[in-house]
């Protein structure tokens, strides 16, 4: 299927690995010129033809500087994919009472304020070109007990921000949607130093056993992880003219883990 994206431009944050890298690859395969941003540029980011830029989007000035450089490379932005996020560098709090202000601030800075600032910087170009924004939330925003509370709360804020942005700028031609993945088989789960390895060690079981058990434990009806390429394909579709009437929506990729209507 031709998604009619050839010659358009995109900026993808958090693009050095996992979902962000899969999104970058999917867009480039559709003929999109992509600026891929990450704190550290890796060879994988450039292997498929992306313009890789190093940027720390958790700083107050980082997003504006990054978008300015991206626009200089692309000439304008048709699509912004705010994929950057995660659990941060600090150890996850076991309970709300064990969480600290520093942990909450770090998680919100990484998952929410980086998105707000990056979107603010890119919006003039998106308005000029009738562009699109795709923000990444999480299944945890709807089922908070599946993640540490600071992370789930930050993703809930992403949903509210995205809905408000859609309402304000939809009439001016900018589409805004969110994607809320569940368990996706990235390095975060499968890598030797990722969250999955830490969780397996805490449970005293091999990582391979954890990866077999986690999807069902998280309520995945079909009992499996999503693949990063599944997410990349959805981003490409939502960015395309074929999805012109999809606006203000939240798409979940969670293998059936969310049971509510």
User: pLDDT category, 167, cuts 50, 70, 90?
Assistant: very high
For the chain, give the percent of residues with pLDDT over 90.
Answer: 80
User: pLDDT category, 198, cuts 50, 70, 90?
Assistant: confident
In the predicted structure, residue 5 carries a pLDDT above the cut 70: yes
pLDDT at 221: 92
pLDDT at 81: 99
Calculated CA dihedral for residues 127, 63, 135, 183, nearest 10 degrees:
160
Mean of the pLDDT values across residues 8-22? Answer: 97
Residues designated catalytic: 151
In the predicted structure, residue 24 carries a pLDDT above the cut 80: yes
For the chain, give the percent of residues with pLDDT over 70.
Answer: 98
Domain 9-184+227-253 is found in CATH 3.40.50.720: yes
Lowest mean pLDDT among 83-92, 152-161, 177-186: 83-92
What backbone torsions phi and psi does residue 51 show, to the nearest 5 degrees? -90, 110
Higher pLDDT, 235 or 93: 235
For the chain, the domains span: 9-184+227-253, 185-225
In the predicted structure, residue 91 carries a pLDDT above the cut 90: no
Mean of the pLDDT values across residues 142-169? Answer: 94
Q: Residues 175-214, buried b or exposed e (16+ Cβ, 10 A)?
A: bbbbbbbbbbbbbbbbeeebbbbeebeeeeeebeebbeeb
pLDDT at 90: 64
Sheet with 51-54, edge to edge strand ranges: 51-54, 33-38, 9-12, 79-82, 132-136, 175-181, 250-253
pLDDT in tens, 102-133: 999 999 999 999 999 999 999 999 999 999 99
Mean of the pLDDT values across residues 161-181? Answer: 98
pLDDT at 171: 98
User: pLDDT category, 145, cuts 50, 70, 90?
Assistant: confident
Mean of the pLDDT values across residues 173-190? Answer: 94
In the predicted structure, residue 89 carries a pLDDT above the cut 70: no
* 34-38: long-range contacts, CB 8 A cutoff, minimum separation 24: 34/9, 34/10, 35/9, 35/10, 35/11, 35/69, 35/70, 35/73, 35/74, 36/12, 37/11, 37/12, 37/13, 37/66, 37/70, 37/84, 38/13, 38/14
């Amino acid at each position: 299927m031709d998604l009619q994206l050839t010659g358009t431009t995109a900026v993808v944050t958090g693009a050095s690995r996992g979902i962000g890298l899969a999104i970058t690859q999917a867009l480039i395969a559709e003929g999109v010129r992509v600026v891929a941003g990450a704190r550290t540029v890796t060879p994988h980011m450039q292997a498929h033809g992306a313009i890789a830029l190093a940027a720390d989007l958790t700083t107050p000035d980082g997003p504006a500087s990054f978008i300015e450089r991206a626009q200089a490379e692309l000439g304008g932005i048709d699509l912004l994919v705010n994929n950057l996020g995660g659990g941060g560098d600090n150890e996850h709090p076991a309970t709300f009472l064990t969480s600290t202000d520093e942990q909450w601030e770090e998680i919100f800075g990484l998952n929410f304020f980086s998105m707000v600032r990056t979107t603010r910087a890119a919006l003039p170009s998106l308005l000029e070109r009738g562009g699109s924004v795709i923000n990444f939330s999480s299944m945890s925003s709807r089922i908070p007990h599946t993640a540490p509370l600071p992370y789930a709360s930050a993703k809930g804020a992403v949903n509210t921000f995205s809905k408000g942005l859609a309402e304000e700028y939809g009439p001016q031609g900018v589409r805004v949607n969110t994607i809320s993945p569940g368990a996706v088989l990235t390095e975060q789960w499968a890598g030797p130093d990722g969250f999955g390895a830490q969780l397996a060690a805490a449970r005293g079981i091999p990582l391979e056993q954890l990866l077999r058990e986690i999807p069902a434990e998280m309520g995945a009806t079909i009992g499996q992880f999503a693949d990063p390429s599944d997410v990349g394909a959805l981003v490409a579709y939502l960015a395309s003219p074929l999805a012109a009437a999809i606006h203000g929506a939240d798409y979940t990729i969670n293998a059936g883990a969310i049971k509510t209507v």
